[in-house]
Amino acid sequence: MNFDVEDEERVSTKKKKAFKPNMMMYLSLFFAVLTVILIIVYVASNKTTTTTQPQTTPTVIEQETKTVRVIDETSNQRPIAVMLDNNIGNIPHAGLMNSYLNYEIIVEGGLTRIMALYKDSNVQLIGPIRSARHYFLDYALESDAIYIHYGWSPQAEKDIQKLGVDNINGMTDKTPFNRDTKLQSPHNVFSIKKNLDSYLSTKGYSLTSNNWQLLKYSADPIYLNGTTGEVNSAGTTSNTDAQQANKISIIYSNTENRTYSYDSGSEYYLRSTNGAAHMDRMSNEQLHYKNIIIQKVENKTIDNEGRQELTTCGTGTGFYITNGYARPINWSKASRNGKTMYTYSDGSQVVVNDGNTFIQIVPTTSNITIG
């Protein structure tokens, strides 16, 4: 077969026809794109949306701050120390349940007197108020208290002046005192706390103090046996020297003895004097106390009136009693206006329960029974 050269050239040089899309192709493309868009919209609208929960800060539950109730430890109100008669027969004391701290100390004739300390208290009646004895000053000074009394012994008069003790003497400052004429003198002098406060504001004494607190208190309950209830650092271990103390007997002299009976339901000690319940004049309620401190101190007679001298400075022994148990303690006092320190045998400080305290300062020869 002969190849036609001319035809070959004609074929190779022949122009190709241009592609011209028609209407059907445009419509097909439009519907294809539309279908894809609809599919995307449909998928997006049916897709499960994951909602991110807002993060919240965990609620912090703050623990309640426990505070001591027997006194306001944040207050700098200066205490007052009131001398109280304790040779009153059937005349009950007024105000002894409102004092946060009390001292009972021997005086002449084997009798005793009480010094009651008040702070941030609106107690109504206080009394019967009696005269000063010089060694009571040592315990008023350690709480930086203003000393309230009605008369004084020669030694007390001298020491009040020598030591510069802020005081009110009812013999010369009669305004805040009243006598109950139905009672026998001198056992009938009383006062009201607001009257004392009002009169003190005229004396020029400082009514505030940053050195008033003597004892360290615990807002959490302390059990000296270290085995019962919620125990703080003062009783976390089993104290081998702790002994049961449901009944305490303290004999000051042939005529004066004090007893305390533990009320386990209320967790306080009911006080009796010379075998009779010690009653409150206002409420007719038996006096009761959370803490008892027994402090043994040497004493001696110094004059024909039987007045006493006490060795308040130095060291000695005693007991701390609370919540049905007692532990032996040591005490030390460096100076007359220095604070008495109470410690256990290991040297740790005695921390007392939240509540009122009675410090029984007894002769070293006193018969003390704890059981």
CB 123 within 8 A of CB 98: yes
Contacts of 272 (CB under 8 A, 6+ apart): 258, 259, 260, 261, 278, 286
Contact 276, 286 (CB under 8 A): no
Q: Tell me whether strands 177-179 and 189-192 are parallel, antiparallel or unpaired.
A: antiparallel
- Alpha carbons within 13 angstroms on the beta-carbon side of residue 357 total 24
Could you please report the per-residue DSSP string of 233-271? TTS-S--TT-EE-SEEEEE-SSS-EEEEEEETTTTEEEE
Predicted confidence at residue 145, as pLDDT, reads: 98
Query: Residue 364: its pLDDT value, please?
Result: 97
pLDDT (tens digit per residue) in 270-315 = 999 999 999 999 899 999 999 999 999 999 999 999 999 999 999 9
Instruction: Identify the pLDDT of residue 39.
Output: 64
In the chain, domain spans: 80-370
Rounded mean pLDDT of the chain? 87
* pLDDT one-digit tens code per residue, 109-163: 999 999 999 999 889 899 999 999 999 999 999 999 999 999 999 999 999 999 9
- For 80-370, CATH number out of 3.30.830.10, 3.40.50.920, 1.10.630.10, 3.50.90.10 equals 3.50.90.10
Query: Which residues of the chain register pLDDT less than 70?
Result: 1-64, 88, 90, 227-238
pLDDT at 10: 42
What pLDDT does residue 366 have? 96
